[in-house]
A and B are shown apart, each in its own frame.
Chain A
């Protein structure tokens, strides 16, 4: 994207933008992202997070990969050091928000009805109910879906994609758009690995690299507390790096 005005016109596509006129018609070259309105609202959300020095992490996966269980264990491990809140996206029910609140942190449930993803507007509405000034870390648990959430920026700082070992190890090859967005991939439920003969973590990582992704891939089990330290350290480092990128006044 053009740094000066935000347009998408580059040397490679400039010829597409201009077109000779025919009588009685006007042609307007645009080259806007189709989701320009969502992108603007996402940028607005990000500005809110930055103004309050809050790290926003977007968790995405197939349904049942263990997002909520991971969050429960993560909150227990980090809540003494950081002020945490969670936004939960589901088609129906308040169940996940209830589970999160039981760990002593605020949770706001977004029920999307039949919508298969969160968008920046839904997130913005939910943010009104959360005390951003009193937070360090916001988790957004997106709707369980490896397709649609990949296309909608919410204003998060980082994307985390979970792949549970009870799914196929070729999931990154099947859902390239989703796995390409990941800043970090968590291989979850690895306590099951000894019982599974058809999930090869090496193959999963190879499928991820074939998407030209250099995202770290951490095998974890939230239930059995396996290798959670690498994930928790990653969060601590990200909190520091997001704060360092902010003007000093915002962090105070």
Chain B
């Protein structure tokens, strides 16, 4: 059961984004999970209320979008749906495939209550400001 640790890490990222946007309240968090990520959606949803308590994301809603498993064949180039433990090409049966969807463990989107002071940097509702703030988080 490592979902609580994953959930705490998720909330740390969410809190960082809220801080960069000068928002005091997170309304909704959208996450995308694939079966090959090793994180169970049901367990993550159960851990969320425990991990969100006392954070800027307290009372926020967690929305989990489950990603389907898809592979691309390195032999014949076909793309097909697959099972997590049977990543074979549906067209030619080859096991030499790469996963194109299904191993994601991504924080997709954060919806925030807008900061009262709209003149501050990154809080003026400009979507680009949000994009840069989120990118900036990757470079720390």
Contact = CB atoms under 8 A, between A and B. Distances in A.
Contacts of A212: 71, 87-88, 95-99
A5 interface: yes
Nearest to A18: B127
Interface string B120-140: 000101010011011101111
B88 A210 contact: yes
Interface in A16-33: 16-19, 21, 24-33
B85 A30 contact: no
B5 A119 contact: yes
A27 B111 contact: yes
A173 interface: yes
B138 A7 contact: yes
A136 B123 CA distance: 49
B1 to A, nearest CB: 7
Interface residues of B, number: 55
Query: For the complex, would chain B's binding face be called helix, strand, loop or mixed by DSSP majority?
Result: mixed
Contacts of A239: none
B113 A37 contact: no
Given A30-B106, A214-B96, 14 more contacts: A5-B135, A16-B32, A24-B113, A26-B113, A26-B115, A27-B110, A28-B130, A29-B109, A32-B107, A34-B39, A150-B38, A151-B105, A210-B87, A212-B99
Interface of A: 5-8, 12-13, 16-19, 21, 24-38, 40, 115-117, 119, 147-148, 150-152, 172-174, 176-178, 180, 207, 209-212, 214
23 contacts: A5-B138, A7-B138, A16-B108, A16-B109, A17-B131, A24-B114, A26-B23, A26-B115, A27-B112, A28-B109, A30-B13, A30-B17, A31-B107, A32-B137, A36-B9, A173-B85, A178-B38, A207-B85, A210-B86, A211-B95, A212-B71, A212-B88, A212-B99
Interface of B: 1-2, 5-6, 9-10, 12-13, 17, 21, 23, 27, 30-32, 36-39, 71, 84-88, 95-101, 105-115, 123, 125, 127, 130-131, 133-135, 137-140
